[in-house]
Amino acid sequence: MGVQFGDIIPKKEISLKLLRTKSAAIDAMNVIYQFLSSIRLKDGSPLKNRSGEITSTYNGIFYKTIYMLENEITPIWVFDGKSHDLKEKTKEDRRKLRQNALENYLEAKEQDNLENMQKYAKRANFLDKKTIENSKRLLELMGVPYINAPSEGEAQCAELVKSKNASFVVSQDYDSILYGAESVVKNITSSNKSLELIELSKVLTELNVNLLELIDVAILIGTDYNPGGIKGIGPKKAFEVVKKGQMEKYAFEIQNYSEIRKIFDEPNVITDYEIGLKLPRKDELIEFLVEENDFSKERVLPNIEKLDLLLGNKKSQKSLESWF
């Protein structure tokens, strides 16, 4: 979900072309949940293989990866590790929301209410361990790198940008900038929706704060580690408080304030990882998609060939990561 900065954070529209030749650190969980809620049949049910296991996720990863490579963007998928203890409440809240949605879905189903079935099915996304493991396996077979973050994926994505192993983060949330990522891109899709670029340095200069102050703003509004933030304080007031140097007045009201600040300021990340592209393992890929998960062979084969071609060309060229 992330911090609700609202309209306060400056962003700009960009074209896909601007991202050409760059590497993207993808906040995998964020994107996978999007796949799960949007890749659906008419009745709102997700795609499944013959055993009833959900395959929308694999569909999304497969086609989005190819789409990015086609546009000369190198994806690096970053998966969450173990979340911080302080996130428990947020996780529990989300579980409840999903459970609620599931109950609403079942009720709509009983009433044969297709519209509500679609609506609630999209919110009742339960992701199991096996789906995550298989997602990683799929990327491996495709020859595309992924990283297991020790903790938050968004923090690891930010590390990749900071170390210039990626140029930007792909996520629908802004949180990566709090971890110090210079660039976050929202809405990388093939639809007409415009791409949105958020640049940390622009955010800081335009709002006239430093990163630590921005983190304080986020904590006042509410983060995953202190959901809800301080009652009565939204984005606008939060900036006022921080700019007037009044953070101390509120800090004591926030449980674990300094610990939360540290999560963003000194994120738990790794710096030793493998991000090279390989050639796809075609036969195993066909086996995974077609045999195990019932993708249509007719549709998958040309895409595997495309992937092979794209990666074959790409492996030789290495570009230095930076803007402009």
Q: What is each CA distance from 191 to 13, 37, 46, 60, 172, in whole angstroms?
A: 14, 16, 20, 14, 15
| Contact set for DNA, span 62-101 (CB under 7 A) | 63-64, 66-67, 70
The C-alpha atoms of residue 251 and residue 56 are separated, in whole angstroms, by 43
Q: Choose which of 48, 98, 123, 243 interacts with DNA (CB under 7 A).
A: 48
Contact between residue 84 and residue 256 where contact means Cβ atoms under 8 Å apart = no
Among the candidate windows 173-181, 208-216, 293-301, 311-319, which touches DNA by CB under 7 A?
A: 293-301
Report if residue 41 touches DNA, rule: CB under 7 A. yes
Closer residue to DNA in complex, CB, 253/305: 305
The C-alpha atoms of residue 62 and residue 243 are separated, in whole angstroms, by 45
Report if residue 29 touches DNA, rule: CB under 7 A. no
The DSSP line for 233-251 is --HHHHHHHHHTT-HHHHH
Among the candidate windows 20-28, 115-123, 259-267, 296-304, which touches DNA by CB under 7 A?
A: 296-304
- Judge whether 152 is annotated as a binding position: yes
Closest CA to 61 of 129, 126, 140: 140
Closer residue to DNA in complex, CB, 93/294: 294
Number of residues counted as binding DNA (CB under 7 A): 33
Closer residue to DNA in complex, CB, 68/242: 68
CB of 322 to DNA, least distance (A): 24
- Which parts of 34-171 are beta strand (E)? 74-79, 146-148, 168-170
x/- mask, DNA, residues 247-286, rule CB under 7 A, reads: ----------------------------------------
The DSSP line for 250-278 is HHTTSTTHHHHHHHHHS------------
The C-alpha atoms of residue 221 and residue 219 are separated, in whole angstroms, by 5
3 state SS of 82: coil
Closer residue to DNA in complex, CB, 15/258: 15
Q: Choose which of 4, 11, 14, 40 interacts with DNA (CB under 7 A).
A: 40
CB of 13 to DNA, least distance (A): 15
- Which parts of the chain are beta strand (E)? 12-14, 23-27, 74-79, 146-148, 168-170, 183-186, 195-199
The C-alpha atoms of residue 220 and residue 237 are separated, in whole angstroms, by 9
Q: Which residues are annotated as a binding site?
A: 27, 80, 152, 154, 173, 175, 224
Q: Which residues are annotated as a binding site for Mg(2+)?
A: 27, 80, 152, 154, 173, 175, 224
Residues that bind DNA (CB under 7 A): 34-35, 38-42, 47-49, 55, 59-60, 63-64, 66-67, 70, 187-193, 293-296, 299-300, 302-303
